[in-house]
Each structure stands twice: as structure tokens, then as C-alpha cells.
Amino acid sequence: MASSERALQGLTFPLQYLEIGESLARALGHDVHSLDRHCGLTLPRPFLPWQTMDGRHLQRSLGYFLMHCPPGEPPLVTFMAHFPVTVHGPVGMLAITSATLDEALQGALTYAPLVMPAFGMRRQDFGDEVHILFERLHDFGEVNDFFTETVVASFLKIMPFLTRPLQGAEVHLQHAPQGPKAAYEQAFGCSFHFGARQNKIVLARQDLGIALMAPSRASHLLMKATLEHQLKARLDVRPVTQEVKRLLHAAMRQRQQLDADGLAQCMAMSARTLSRRLKDEGSTLPQLRCQVGVEHAEVLLIETRKPMAQVARAAGFADTASFSRAFKRLTGQTPTALREGSGPAALHPAAAPAQYQTAALREGSDSAGAGLAAPGTAVPWAAA
């Protein structure tokens, strides 16, 4: 997953993320412009709302924070104390004006690519649990683990806005703790598990119905309209592709299948227009069905001991052989290797080695969809 300077330079982040480092600098009595100099930026004050920085600047700002973070507690605890949910801009405002936690999570996951392109994020329902999974897509070097912690923990910033506490929430992180585990748990009010197979937050499904303290439908719709406008202006975000994946994941959670006509109807366009829009973004529907199926299967492989044939059919594949081929093509490892722990969970093709990315995402649509059960056929979904 090595990312070159050029790759990091191609990422875009809101400039207001620097306000977190500035807040720490003020608390320590430091010159706030020292952060700008460390990042190689010359900026006006206050920041203008449309200003951005690239991945190199973000990498340096995280390094600055680690260098100046007071010793004693995990750096994440100090970082999040200077991290308001509104630093995400309209995405944060959309979350806190939601009616329920479910609506807040859906909004955050839908528009996260606008503010955090370094990670892929998705929801996976699993029995009475909801897993919010985080896949790091770029290498940020020495700050990788700290960066991952900040992205995962940012979702926990919604907790003060809930009308009642979460019950039994868990945070799973693949790396080792950067301080006492008890300090993490005391600061965030949930259990932390390090050395995990995946980076994720686990919530009780019943908690999704928790109401927020100050919902505002008018403000929520205003923020949503603003974000939709930003999505259309950002070609790198691929909004149609992301929406199709969201709908396919939602259908899979409900043990349903959507064909091209059903997807097009959900998106208020014709099937031909949907196909053209996906092609413009470099995607095809068979490719996305395959990708969503593999992502669903990964959680089943890690969290259950279901037979491979049952996992394959639950993921929408016609047979085990086609499932195994697609899984290897997208992730670079076999389903058996993932289950047995011989390789890390790679929940997004962009996190796989380049040779697998090319094969998985650029091959023809017929090849990408080979082995998938035809939409509308009876697929005996496994309980998940």
C-alpha cells in the first residue's frame, strides 16, 4: 500500500482540520503559525471555507501533533479533546442535525469521501450488531496508526449529542495501543480491542434508533443539499458509483437483490442512463456487484465458521469456485487464507496490491460479473 508523495499530493482534505493542531498549540502556549511552517503552508487567518490541503500537509500536521502532544496518556485522547464534530464542516452538521443515530451514520458514510478520501468506510450488519468498517487506502508512513485512530474515533464524537448512552459499543483496531488501554476506554466510554483483524466500530443494532438531542429537519436538508452539490463537483468521489454500492449493500443487509432497473428506479434515472453514468466513472454494475459481494463475504469469513459454500451464496455468487476466483482477484488472497488468518482483511480493492487492483477494477464487465447469481434468482441468504 506504499503511497508516493505524488499520490498523497493528489488527495484533498478540508483545511479546517489544521484547527485541531492550532488548538493544541494554543493550549501549550506555542505560536500557532509554527504548525503552518511545519506543514509548508502559508495561510490567511481565518481560514476561508473553500480552502483545502493535500495529503502531504495532513501527514505533516499529524506528525506535528505527535511531536507536541503531552506525555502520559494516548495521543488520541489529547487529539480528540481538541476535535469538535463540526470540524468536518457540513458533514458534521448533517450528523448532529439528524433525527436518529441511524440517520447520522448513513449521512456520515455517504459523504465521508468528501472530507476523508484516505479511508474507505462502510456499514456491515451482522446479526444484532452493526459494524462500521474503516479501510486505509493510502500509506501515511509513521503516522499510520495514529491517523487510523483519529478517523475511527471521529465517529464517536456523535455520542454527546445522543439522548442516551450507547450500550456495549466496541472499537477494534489492528495495531498496538499507543498508551494504556484503560485510558482509551475511560476517555471514550466504550471497550477497545487492539491487534484486531479489522479496524471497526461495533454497535448494537437497537442503538441505531437512539434520538439525537437537537434534530433540525430544515438544517439537515440544507446540509444535505450542500453536500450533494459538492459531490457533483468532485469527479474523484464518483457519486453514482458510491450510491450504487450503498444501495447494493442495503439490499444485501435485507437479503434482497436489486437488478439494473430496480437500482435505476431508486436513483430516479433510466437503466441506460445509470449504465452510462457508471461507465463515465470507470465502473460497471457487474463489477460493483462483485465488489459488494466480496466485502460482505469478508465479514462472514472473519466473524463466523459458516461453510464456504454458504458464504459464497450469501454473497450472491452462484458457486464456491466463482466466489473464490472473484475473492482472490479483488483482495489478493483466497477466502481460506483470510479465514485462517494468514493475511489481513483487505476490505476494499484500493487497499490490495496494484496488480490485483488492475485485474479487479479494469477488466471487462462480463468477466467481473462471471459467477454471480443472476438478479431475481432465488439465493438462499445465510443469516448474518
Which pLDDT score, from 0 to 100, does residue 368 have? 53
Contact 290, 369 (CB under 8 A): yes
Listed in sequence order, the residues at least 6 apart from 120 whose beta carbon sits closer than 8 Å to its beta carbon are 134, 135, 137, 347, 348, 350, 351
Q: Please report where in the chains the cell 450504487 appears, as a residue.
A: 244
What architecture is the 238-384 domain classified under in CATH? Orthogonal Bundle (1.10)
In this structure, the number of other CB atoms found within 10 A of the CB of residue 51 comes to: 13
Distance CA 206, CA 215 (A): 19
Distance CA 32, CA 46 (A): 12
Q: Percent helix, strand, coil in the chain (nearest 5)?
A: 55, 10, 30
Contact 201, 156 (CB under 8 A): yes
- Report the DSSP beta bridge partners of residue 202: 131, 170
Per-residue model confidence as pLDDT tens for the chain (384 residues) = 445 778 888 888 888 888 888 888 888 888 878 888 888 877 665 555 567 888 999 999 999 999 888 888 999 999 998 888 888 889 999 999 999 999 999 999 999 988 998 999 999 888 899 999 999 989 999 999 999 999 999 999 999 999 999 988 999 999 999 999 999 999 999 999 999 999 999 999 999 999 999 999 999 999 999 998 887 777 566 778 888 888 888 888 777 888 899 898 888 889 999 998 888 888 899 999 999 999 889 888 888 888 999 999 988 898 999 999 999 998 889 999 988 874 455 444 434 433 333 344 444 444 455 566 655 444 443 334
Distance CA 192, CA 171 (A): 5
Which pLDDT score, from 0 to 100, does residue 47 have? 55
The CA-CA-CA angle for residues 253, 256, 261, to 5°, reads 125
| pLDDT one-digit tens code per residue, 154-197 | 999 999 999 999 988 999 999 999 999 999 999 999 999 999 99
Residue intervals of the chain classified under CATH 1.10.10.60 are: 238-384
Q: Is the pTM of this model over 0.85?
A: no
Task: Return the beta strands (E) in 55-209 as ranges.
Answer: 119-126, 129-136, 170-173, 191-194, 199-204
